[in-house]
Amino acid sequence: MLSLQSLSKTYADGTRALEAIDLAVPNAEIVALIGGSGCGKTTLLRLVAGLDRPSAGRIALDGEPITGPHPGVGLVFQEPRLLPWLDVAANVGFGVSDLPRRERAERVAHALERVGLAEHAGRWPRELSGGQQQRVSIARAFVANPRVLLLDEPFSALDAFTRKDLHRHLLALWEEVRPTVLIVTHDVSEAVALADRAIVMRPKPGRLDESVALPLRRPRDPAAPASEAATRTILGALDRSLRPRDAARTPELAGGSSF
């Protein structure tokens, strides 16, 4: 269980990026955080990853507080961020260098196979396409067997076809390790394709707004009526999140609205 309790982040310049975030994510759930730019999605992930410290509130993973980068938490950045001086295999194995050589090689080879890049193990990152690089970066995060995997708009720079392909690779890896996944996106169809729950965020200051449960079976067909209904529900929630807040209404986070 990943739990965030009244988490707030105010930057040094006074920007209130996040305010009073409460969220509980059961193990192996995939949660999509949706919202426009400036609603604190990336800040939220950076806090959970331990890259930044919250101004108030606490984060705990299975009861253990997170105060810095944690071995159980992996992060896939918006850009691949591969190390250009390491070949693909060494990049994937970057975070598990303390493992014995043979076990590391096995895990790297397995992860590369899972993302369909086994034959590119010896190449330089610059020789790969953007989609391939992002697959390497996902493999790098998975090799460390994280209990929580955070993804910060990892597919936003890719074309629709590549993105769909990467969704498939991501879900295949998830099936295997079954980490809790928090994926930040501004693409509603991505949330519908991947998540068990979509949470809409409101800007200024960043807060969690409506939550939409997505109890659809996998593999999901984006053209199926259930997916289309879910997309409409999330779009509706996004619309409401951009209107001035109605003081009387309280966010329905606990159970979440279904459709």
What is the binding site for other proteins (CB under 8 A)? 49, 51, 68-71, 74-75, 77, 79, 81, 83-86, 94-95, 97, 124, 126, 144
* Closest distance to other proteins from the beta carbon of 136 (Å): 12
Q: Which is nearer to other proteins, 79 or 165 (CB)?
A: 79
Segment 171-178 long-range contacts (CB within 8 Å, at least 24 positions apart) = 171/218, 171/219, 172/114, 173/111, 173/114, 173/115, 173/138, 173/139, 173/142, 174/30, 174/149, 176/114, 177/142, 177/145, 177/146, 178/27, 178/28
Name residue, tokens 């949660």.
31
* Closest distance to other proteins from the beta carbon of 90 (Å): 10
* Closest distance to other proteins from the beta carbon of 25 (Å): 19
* Closest distance to other proteins from the beta carbon of 258 (Å): 35
Q: Which is nearer to other proteins, 97 or 250 (CB)?
A: 97
Q: Which is nearer to other proteins, 149 or 192 (CB)?
A: 149
Q: Which is nearer to other proteins, 80 or 131 (CB)?
A: 80
Of 88, 39, 27, 84, the closest CA to residue 209 belongs to 39
